[in-house]
Amino acid sequence: MSELRIRCRNNGKRISVPFGSNLYDVFAKAGFQMEYGPVAARVNNKVQGMNYRFYNNKDVEFLSLTSDSGMRTYTRTLFFILAKAVEDTYPDAQLLIGGSVCRGYYCELRIGRPVEDDDVRRIKHRMQEIIDADMPIHRMQCPIEEAIEMFEKRGMKSKVQLLESQDELYTYYYRLGDTIDYFYSCLLTRTSQVHLFDLVKFYDGMLLRTPSRKDPSQLEEIMEQNKKMFDVMIEHHRWQEILGVRTAGELNRAIKAGYATDLINVSEALQSKKLSNIADEIAQKGARIVLLAGPSSSGKTTTAKRLAVLVMACGLRPHTISTDDYFVNRVDTPRDANGEYDFECIEAVDTAFFNKQMSALLRGEEIELPRYDFPSGERVFEGRKLRIGPEDVIILEGNHAL
């Protein structure tokens, strides 16, 4: 087959390209412009880098930085450039890239002493040099045993453990100059495609800042984060190290060795201990309302019930209330850009009615609790009355609790 038929889902155009053409070739024939892109593409609904080559007819959707997958591709590339910059400037250092913090990524740099502003400036300068050099980022394929040997020689233990837990015969890794690394998904093809970033000193480490997905010409605005929340993240990472499961490779190895039950039991014990301490603090401070927030399906309701039992063990009377019961009626619920109901925005909650009821409770007045009926999309009252006294505690859980 000398010619392949590619359907571009961005504009519905069907394109003929030679056998072995890559995504850049297809985009050049697609006949449309894409601001901040393309950085990757969905090929038959699987995200691929722009160096992906075609050997069969496919459907393609090109992605820009305004898409989730496009921004993740950009961010992974930044991680790789940061890793190379650290390797070039501090060859004996250990770089640990953590989770999202303040709309950036917290990076721990272990160099045998506290990280200083000059260290961060030096690494940032090297990152910019790498970007300005327009270096190619090569996607390499080899037998998985060879990849393990390469990473082992470089002392990259976490990559070795991750690859050892795979059952594939071959794997892919990325090369940037003399630096190699393994990533689960695709990267950009050249360093010059990174047009915007920042690296700043942040607590004991660094904060890697990325462009905003809404406006990629601007950096994501730093969101002020409570120091307590940051400390919780650091503590979480510390416990991961203590348990020996800081990375996915270490976790896979522990599970294969039969330690899954132990890890679950220790995690449960740690959470129970934390909740018990929180219950004690609630009793000591005489808190009247406790807020429990988190994203959907994060375990808020289950945690609220567990906390209620522990609060009761402190001699108090807990009452669990969900912020979902204070949703506005469906007809008044805001919609998102796609026309879907947006239950996560604060406007989806009747804050005036909520504040009125909470204030009444704190004044010792009796209220009738609402229940939001999701099938009908309306608030209903079923005669559930509540009045709180000195020994009562309201545990308020929901997406909007903060």
Q: What domain range includes position 320?
A: 273-397
Decide if 261 is inside a domain.
Answer: no
SS3 86: helix
The answer on 82 and 34 residing in a single domain is no
For residue 172, the model assigns a pLDDT of 94
* CA gyration radius, the chain: 26
Q: What percent of the chain has pLDDT over 70?
A: 99
The answer on 94 and 80 residing in a single domain is yes
d(CA 343, CA 265) in angstroms, rounded, equals: 35
* Token duo for residue 78: 């930044």
Cα torsion 387, 390, 395, 400: sign: positive
pLDDT band at 296 (very low <50, low <70, confident <90, very high): confident
Taking 60 as the threshold, does the pLDDT of residue 1 lie above it? no
Q: Which of 398, 64, 102 is nearest to 214 (CA)?
A: 64
pLDDT band at 338 (very low <50, low <70, confident <90, very high): confident
Last residue of a domain, one of 205, 221, 237: 221
Q: Bridge partners of 101?
A: 104
The answer on 85 and 128 residing in a single domain is yes
Decide if 259 is inside a domain.
Answer: no
Decide if 15 is inside a domain.
Answer: yes
Interval 100-159: pLDDT, tens: 888 899 999 999 999 999 999 999 999 999 999 999 999 999 999 999 999 999 999 989
For residue 337, the model assigns a pLDDT of 76
Interval 218-261: pLDDT, tens: 999 887 766 777 888 888 888 888 888 888 888 998 998 899 99
The answer on 357 and 278 residing in a single domain is yes
Decide if 138 is inside a domain.
Answer: yes
d(CA 275, CA 329) in angstroms, rounded, equals: 34
Angle at 301 between CA 297 and CA 305, to 5 degrees: 150
The answer on 54 and 102 residing in a single domain is no
The answer on 98 and 60 residing in a single domain is no
For residue 176, the model assigns a pLDDT of 97
Q: Bridge partners of 317?
A: 392
| 253-280 mean pLDDT | 92
Length, in residues, of the chain = 402
Interval 57-75: pLDDT, tens: 999 999 999 999 999 999 9
d(CA 53, CA 197) in angstroms, rounded, equals: 29
* Token duo for residue 273: 């201990």
Last residue of a domain, one of 64, 81, 99: 64
Decide if 25 is inside a domain.
Answer: yes
**In CATH, what number is assigned to the domain containing residue 28?**
3.10.20.30
The answer on 81 and 209 residing in a single domain is yes
**In CATH, what number is assigned to the domain containing residue 326?**
3.40.50.300
SS3 307: helix
pLDDT band at 312 (very low <50, low <70, confident <90, very high): very high
Decide if 228 is inside a domain.
Answer: no
The answer on 95 and 50 residing in a single domain is no
Decide if 230 is inside a domain.
Answer: no
Interval 170-228: pLDDT, tens: 999 999 999 999 998 999 999 999 999 999 999 999 999 999 999 999 999 887 766 77
The answer on 117 and 29 residing in a single domain is no
The answer on 184 and 82 residing in a single domain is yes
The answer on 156 and 185 residing in a single domain is yes
Decide if 263 is inside a domain.
Answer: no
Interval 354-363: pLDDT, tens: 999 999 999 9
The answer on 322 and 215 residing in a single domain is no
Mean pLDDT of the chain: 93
**In CATH, what number is assigned to the domain containing residue 146?**
3.30.980.10
Q: Are 60 and 28 in contact (CB under 8 A)?
A: no
Count of the separate structural domains present in the chain = 3
Last residue of a domain, one of 42, 64, 86: 64
Interval 6-36: pLDDT, tens: 999 999 999 999 999 999 999 999 999 999 9
SS3 293: coil
